Amino acid sequence: MKRLMLVIGLAVAACVTVVPSLAQAADLPKKFDVLLYVDTVNGSRPVGAKPRPIGCTQTNTFTRGEQQVFRIWGTVAGTGDILSTENVKYAYVTVPGSPNLKLNWGAHGAASNRVWFWTAAWILPADYALGDVTAKIVFKTEEGTFGTYDYAFTVVPALKTASVKAASLKKASPKLASRG
Amino acid sequence: MRRKIAVLVAGVAAVTAVSATALAVTPGEIPFPSPKIESVFVSTHTVTGPTSSLGAGVLTNYYPRGGTVVFRVFAAETKSGKVLTAEDVKYAYVKIPGQANVKLTYTAQVKKGDPTWLGTWTVPADYPTGLVQFVTRFRTTGKQYGNFVQIPVVTSQLTVTKS
């Protein structure tokens, strides 16, 4: 009898654990009015932190004082038109505890291969809370449709250096390493 | 008379085409990845695998030889905005120069923002160091195609380093 109760108890506990995830999954959107690509790179102009060996590398881990740059492009479902100042009413990034960051439509990349997308940069404050953060990206189109994206990143006290060693990069690609 | 009508129709078509382009793109701007996404929207992130010294799921574009690149991919039909699932897709893979295609597998989202497709590539010990111009490709069961290419900022593109 005790064993039966234990099995029932475990089954109930498992249900309690599983049901919220399933309910959450059921709430997820199956379609979007605006489709977004979002990533972040380390800006080459940190204010309160040592610059990384290379600027504009993709990362979702930052230290206080670093410059975080959001890079975004997207398209309007239905027309397939790329999001630009021609069809976007406003666009911004909300980072908890900071004023909204206006997204700017502009040219980026080498002069020989310059392309346009949306960016917003900010410096992580010296007293910004450590840990996982979710930034929210919001686009409103001229047609009145919205695109949103929850972007997760982590604020750490110090960076691990395993992924990008300057010496290794110089050997791999001298041009890249010299851009820092 | 027929010739005049044909010339007139051709002229109107040409003006319409130019006007349509002018509406979508401001002169001098080159929107990434293109002024229009025709069929399938595809986005791709590269994150670390569980054996990385950085921990799993860290966004980075630098991987040593022997390291594991996890491709986290999202795709949706442009016309309807519908998220593509395994039922909608004939094939989905990442094409890496000099390597077999990395097949993408559909995984149901648990929370908002999760990718819907995943693929893993272990960088061979002898893979050339430097930039990796990968392309993510989708074909739907309705014969619609979509590609993802990296933003052309070289320091943010997938790069293989010495181990």
ipTM over 0.95: no
- pLDDT category of residue B115 using cuts at 50, 70 and 90: confident
Chain B nearest-CA distance from A168, in A, is 6
pLDDT digits (tens, 9 = 90+) for B11-47: 444 433 333 444 456 788 999 999 999 999 999 999 9
pLDDT digits (tens, 9 = 90+) for A64-82: 999 999 999 999 999 999 9
Q: What is the pTM of this model?
A: 0.82
Nearest to A115 among B25, B61, B152 (CB): B152
B138 versus B4: the higher-pLDDT residue is B138
Rounded CA separation B149/B33 (Å): 8
- Which segment of A84-88, B52-56, B60-64, B89-93 scores lowest on mean pLDDT? B52-56
pLDDT > 70: what percent of chain A?
Answer: 74
- Where do the structural domains in chain A lie, given as residue ranges? 32-172
Give the residue-averaged pLDDT of A25-41.
Answer: 87
Contact flag B36-A82 (C-beta cutoff 8 Å): yes
Amino acid identity of residue B163, one-letter, is: S
Give the residue-averaged pLDDT of B121-147.
Answer: 98
Using the Cβ of B62 and the Cβ atoms of chain A, whether some distance falls under 8 Å is answered with yes
In CATH terms, the superfamily for domain A32-172 is Immunoglobulins (2.60.40.10)
Question: What pLDDT, on the 0 to 100 scale, is given for residue B108?
Answer: 83
Please name which of B60, B70, B53, B49 lies closest in space to residue B159, comparing C-alpha atoms: B60
- Where do the structural domains in chain B lie, given as residue ranges? 40-161
Interface probe, candidates A34, A39, A58, chain B, greatest B C-beta count within 10 A: A58
Q: Is the pLDDT of residue A173 over 60?
A: no
Question: What pLDDT, on the 0 to 100 scale, is given for residue B116?
Answer: 87
Distances (CA, A) of A57 to A47, B42, B97, B125, B136: 17, 21, 21, 23, 20
CA A14-A19-A24 angle, to 5 degrees, is 145
Q: Which element (helix H / strand E) includes A90?
A: strand A88-94
Comparing alpha-carbon positions, the chain A residue that sits nearest to B146 is: A80
Which residues of chain B lie closer than 8 angstroms to A165, CB-CB? Answer: 161
In CATH terms, the superfamily for domain B40-161 is Macroglobulin (MG2) domain (2.60.40.1930)
Q: Is the pLDDT of residue B155 over 90?
A: yes
Q: Is the pLDDT of residue B94 over 60?
A: yes
- Report the relative pairing of strands B102-103 and B159-161 from DSSP bridges: unpaired
Q: Is the pLDDT of residue B79 over 60?
A: yes
pLDDT > 70: what percent of chain B?
Answer: 83
A125 versus B7: the higher-pLDDT residue is A125
Question: What pLDDT, on the 0 to 100 scale, is given for residue B16?
Answer: 37
**How does the average pLDDT of chain B come out, rounded?**
87
A18 versus A39: the higher-pLDDT residue is A39
**How does the average pLDDT of chain A come out, rounded?**
82
Please name which of B61, B73, B52, B67 lies closest in space to residue B121, comparing C-alpha atoms: B67
Question: What pLDDT, on the 0 to 100 scale, is given for residue A26?
Answer: 53
In a 13 Å sphere around the CA of A173, the CA atoms on its Cβ side amount to 22
